[in-house]
Chain A
Amino acid sequence: MECVFGLVGNGFAIVAADTSAVHSILVHKNNEDKIMVLDSHKLIAASGEPGDRVHFTEYAQKNVSLYQFRNGIPLTTAAAANFIRRELATALRKNPYSVNILMAGYGKEAGASLYYIDYIATLHKVDKGAFGYGSYFSLSTMDRHYRSDMSVEEAIELDDKCIREIRSRLVIAPPNFVIKIVDKDGAREHAWRQSVQDVTTASV
């Protein structure tokens, strides 16, 4: 029931992901950050097998860092997306990674961009994208309300609409979401949407 979705606005790209770590009927935690900061201006929101998700995204992040040290400049968003796709494709017919990725990035020439990369190494550059059962609701909502030059406030409103839709219509809807944004000033966490918080102390 993992939900990941994202969209491109005016000079920024925003991605939201649910934050529950689930194993069969047990919720391990509901503040698991599934959006990794790849480098200063790139985010990858990943969903899928938890082991594969962490392993693959960390591997991608370290390789992106290595490229930057070797060449003195960071990878472009498109290059990083293609690198990730290539890694997924190579592993696909041997030991595939079950990870779906939405990659948001900002580059000086390309501006803000969003890439849809699924677990069988499909790569699409998109304005809006989503993974998981939640995609049925978030994609429809985004199709209805999205415009290509949205401001950050409008995009957050649209994100909230999607989250409300997911919460009300998905049978086992994740309670909490994290929203991260990337623009010319870099990649950073923007907000959390929490309806359940982890219990920290037991009161007797």
Chain B
Amino acid sequence: MARYDRAITVFSPDGHLFQVEYALEAVRKGNAAVGVRGTDTVVLAVEKKSTPKLQDTRSARKIVSLDNHVALACAGLKADARVLINKARIECQSHRLTLEDPVTVEYITRYIAGLQQKYTQSGGVRPFGLSTLIVGFDPYTRIPSLYQTDPSGTFSAWKANATGRNSNSIREFLEKNYKETSGQETVKLAIRALLEVVESGGKNIEVALMTREEGTLRQLEEAEIDAIVAEIEAEKAAAEAAKKGPSKET
């Protein structure tokens, strides 16, 4: 087995590309990221591991705009992310220049996934160690989308998904609790999912959303996140009390 994991371009006898799988391991070590698609809102929420006191948080934004109507969050190697995001931003403007139209979310996802795939089939390079969650509204149709790519270069559309640390537990939670939501409910669902694995509190998560009306990415302030977290905790406490309540009375 060890002989087949050095060069990326070498398959192992049982059909694995080990470098790609190791890249997926790197993703699994990255911070948790959640994406939820509502009927008129798309939300990205990312875990913020303890921010150093002296760091300027504005320079360490984890949810970025690729274009006015498309945003991306990722889990994995942040330096690799910078390279991919830069190339994607250039492609967004290049598309606007040559086709006189903004990209669709699917187009730019396919482009990013294509880039990630290229680096699994070239000599002397390693794959990008990150998975991305891409959200946005298509131009003209204004249909909301959520896509995910991974180091192997595959991509697919999702109603809700998670990547990074403990993504399996978050995905389980989403599968159990997902329903069509809109507006603030979508934001709450994303935050509730993330809080399954992250310590509660506005300073531990970064949340950004895009609504069909506004059309551009809006980062939530810490105070706003705290308020929603408080709402969620209150709802949870009420649900707990409701469960215990009837049994106490009997």
Contact = CB atoms under 8 A, between A and B. Distances in A.
Contacts of B223: none
B86 A70 contact: yes
Interface in A58-97: 58-59, 62-63, 65-66, 69-70, 72
B203 interface: no
A63 B89 CA distance: 11
Contacts of A65: 93, 96
A62 B97 contact: yes
Kindly state the interface size class of chain B when it binds its partner: 10 to 19
A58 B89 CA distance: 16
B96 A62 contact: yes
Contacts of B63: none
Main secondary structure of the interface of A (DSSP, over half): helix
B21 to A, nearest CB: 32
A58 B97 contact: yes
Kindly state the interface size class of chain A when it binds its partner: under 10
A69 B94 contact: no
A16 B67 CA distance: 30
Contacts of B94: 62
B239 interface: no
Which of A58, A63, A65 has the most chain B CB atoms closer than 10 A to its own CB? A65
A62 B103 CA distance: 13
A94 B58 CA distance: 42
B66 interface: yes
Contacts of A63: 93
A62 B96 CA distance: 8
B65 interface: yes
A86 B151 CA distance: 38
A58 B96 CA distance: 9
Contact of B67 (A59, A69, A72): A69
B125 interface: no
Nearest to A63: B93
B65 A69 contact: yes
Nearest to B96: A62
A99 B86 CA distance: 30
Contacts of B66: 69
Given A69-B67, A69-B89, 8 more contacts: A62-B93, A62-B96, A63-B93, A65-B96, A66-B93, A69-B65, A70-B89, A72-B58
